[in-house]
Amino acid sequence: MRVDFHSHVVPGVDDGSKNTEMSLEMLRRMRRQGTDLVVATPHYYVGRTAPEEYLEKISDACYLLREAIQQSGEEVPKPALGYEVYYFKGISQANFINLFTIGNSPYLLLELPTRPLTNADVEDIFRIRANQGLIPILAHVERYLAFESFDFLQDMIRQGELLAQVNADSLLKWSTRKKALAFLKNGTAQFLGSDAHNLDQRAPRLEEAMAVIEKKAGKELVQRIDRDSEALIEKCL
């Protein structure tokens, strides 16, 4: 099963899709590219909106999207709801973050800040699982390579404390392709996400990325990603 683990297809809630028409068109493209299931992961920034208020906003937008899908009568990938939670200090102690996982699962798509992480931040990320039983999936892990703490993050992934996702677009750019491929090959990342925000600069391009993986690393790796994706999503739905 082909799963897109990272997308901004929920209409009108973040810097992703602007309205239901755009969301529907993004889903059509995903369908044409062979995506079976997409995880909708709207950004969540603590402090900007109260958790309950944000959840309600997303729930309303999802209702509109489901209605639009139904009215269209088209076969498009049905979005599963998750979030992309931006790291904040004390996240491992914040008991409301279990409201922001994928479906009812313990998996939490976690976006790290662009600033380097301190040792306390790394400890905080490590403690999310110990304190709350949640398993973070690092969003677009290729972006954090320059961090001094990247080795720690990679160790946590090796030990199974964290999972990670790479962005499809990182396989389509020369500057990041090699690293993204290496991450998928050596198990630093297990999953792929389009991180699609719109229909142009940040459009869904999962199929193109999978074609690059197949060409450069072989069909077995594509099959492994699809298999692992299916196993994980089954635990979320």
Asked if residue 64 lies in contact with residue 30, where contact means CB atoms within 8 angstroms, the answer is no
Question: Edge-to-edge strands of the sheet including 163-167?
Answer: 43-44, 84-86, 107-111, 135-138, 163-167, 191-193
**Residue nearer to Fe ion on the CB measure, 124 or 195:** 195
**How is residue 25 written in tokens?**
């068109």
Query: Is 86 or 216 the residue whose CB approaches Fe ion more closely?
Result: 86
Shortest distance, position 180 Cβ to Fe ion, whole Å: 16
- Of 109 and 210, nearer to Fe ion (C-beta) is 109
Return the exposure string of 15-51: e unless at least 16 CB atoms fall within 10 Å of the residue's CB, then b. ebbeebebbbbbbbbbbebebbbbbbbbbbebeeeee
Q: Go through the chain and tell me how many residues it has.
A: 237
Least distance (Å) between residue 6 CB and Fe ion: 6
Cα(18)–Cα(196) distance, rounded to whole angstroms?
A: 12
Q: Shortest Cβ distance from residue 166 to Fe ion (Å)?
A: 12
Q: Which of 43, 5, 1 is nearest to 189 (CA)?
A: 5
Given the complex with Fe ion, which of 4 and 124 has the nearer CB atom?
4
Place of tokens 């683990």: 5
- Give 129 or 197: the residue with its C-beta nearer to Fe ion: 197
CB of 195 to Fe ion, least distance (A): 4
With vertex at residue 118, the alpha carbon angle to CA 117 and CA 122, rounded to the nearest 5 degrees, is 75
- The residue of the chain with the least Cβ separation from Fe ion equals 195
* Smallest distance from Fe ion to CB 159, Å: 25
Among residues 76, 99, 105, 98, which one has the least CA distance to residue 9?
Answer: 76
Q: Is 148 helix (H, G, I), strand (E, B) or coil?
A: coil
Closest CA to 27 of 11, 51, 15: 11
Tokens of 83: 């979030």
Q: Least distance to Fe ion from the beta carbon of 138, Å?
A: 12
Task: Output 84 or 124, the one with its CB closest to Fe ion.
Answer: 84
Binding residues for Fe ion, per CB under 5 A?
84, 195
Choice between 169 and 195, CB closer to Fe ion: 195
Q: Report, in Å, the least distance between residue 236 CB and Fe ion.
A: 17
